[in-house]
Structure 1
């Protein structure tokens, strides 16, 4: 009974926060302008635009960067790697990596609990039904290793995975640990490259990201192949018995 009341209380509070921000967006010109500016900034696909926006806040730049990471997590699927590049360019690659990793973990946790508390109907409005369905299929296919595999593959939406995980029976701690481990390699690579980025280096970055994605995909396919091969051999042995 206590858990049910707590769940409803959390749902009411969370819905209240969402309604409040929605009202502020539509009726407060400053909030409306800020949200539209941030959305347009992500739409450019240019990390320098994101970097300059963060840099304008001076001593509060790291807090603004973390807030942007959480914002893009909730408003999936906006490109988080732009913030990672910007952080590395502004604060140095290792400090940027720590900031990007920790704020992405916060964003993932927020998404997880939004879907855990509010349920699928609300999450589909924040994301997309098609996107969630595709992640559901991924979870069904790869089972308990789904989170860490999804985090290692840069072409799978980080935020959709977080939302979808909250809709399952998965506990938060295993989700959190798998997310932390799985996203670390990409964060380090993006941050290291982002620290060296200039306007003329974007082709190099694109090539590196493609190479990274392909290398991870090759390893994943190889593991799946050998896993299926092992299962087939096991079934054949069982048939003989």
Structure 2
């Protein structure tokens, strides 16, 4: 997928930045598609800092668009249907509490971004609070993701360590599942 997007960006060089942002918005609205391949394409075509900045702009814009669309389309969903206590806390949160929760959830790498956006959108948080907290929370995660992808793309010793560590984790997970 990254190869296809990289070719798309090089073919349409004049509007590549706009295409990247639009693809990121689409990924955010879908809510389940990982954006790492788009970050990799941005880094390959635009370089480390420009690629990271473009990925940040796209992810921030995507989160806001997804929030707005989810709010319009799913707001009628009642709180009773989402009964998990952590979900209820975010649904009822406003202002500072909502800001802190969204920021914290964006910083946690294992919490799906689409889920945070969805729950915030059907809850009581304002678009402005969501946009600021979500964008600030994306910065550290995107820097880590971008640095890791950049090292792997350029096949530096750090990239080799990252790929080796990822392979070890995947082997361990596979081994555990096979044992069960």
TM-score (norm 2): 0.72
Structure 1 outlier segments of 4+, above 6 Å: 132-135
Q: Secondary structure at the match of 2:151?
A: coil
The Cα shift of 1:197 comes to 3.1
Partner of residue 104, structure 2: 149
After TM superposition, the structure 1 = structure 2 runs for residues 80-95 of structure 1, keeping only pairs within 5 Å, are: 80-95=35-50
After TM superposition, the structure 1 = structure 2 runs for residues 24-173 of structure 1, keeping only pairs within 5 Å, are: 41=1, 47-120=2-75, 136=87, 139=90, 144=98, 145-173=100-128
The Cα shift of 1:205 comes to 5.1
After TM superposition, the structure 1 = structure 2 runs for residues 7-22 of structure 1, keeping only pairs within 5 Å, are: none
The Cα shift of 1:203 comes to 6.3
**Shift in CA distance, 50/137, structure 1 to aligned 2, threshold 3 Å:** farther
TM-score (norm 1): 0.55
RMSD over aligned Cα atoms: 3.4
Query: Structure 2 CA distance, aligned partners of 1:160 and 1:107?
Result: 14
Contact kept? 2:66, 2:117, Cα under 8 Å? yes
Match of 1:192 among 143, 147, 156: 147
The Cα shift of 1:150 comes to 1.1
The C-alpha deviation readout for 1:84-141, integer Å capped at 9, x for no partner, is: 122122111111111111111111011111122222479xxxxxx98x9697257369
The C-alpha deviation readout for 1:182-218, integer Å capped at 9, x for no partner, is: 110111222233333338647625748xxxxxxxxxx
Number of equivalenced pairs: 158
Q: Which runs of 5+ in 1 are unaligned?
A: 1-40, 42-46, 123-128, 209-241
Q: Which runs of 5+ in 2 are unaligned?
A: 167-180
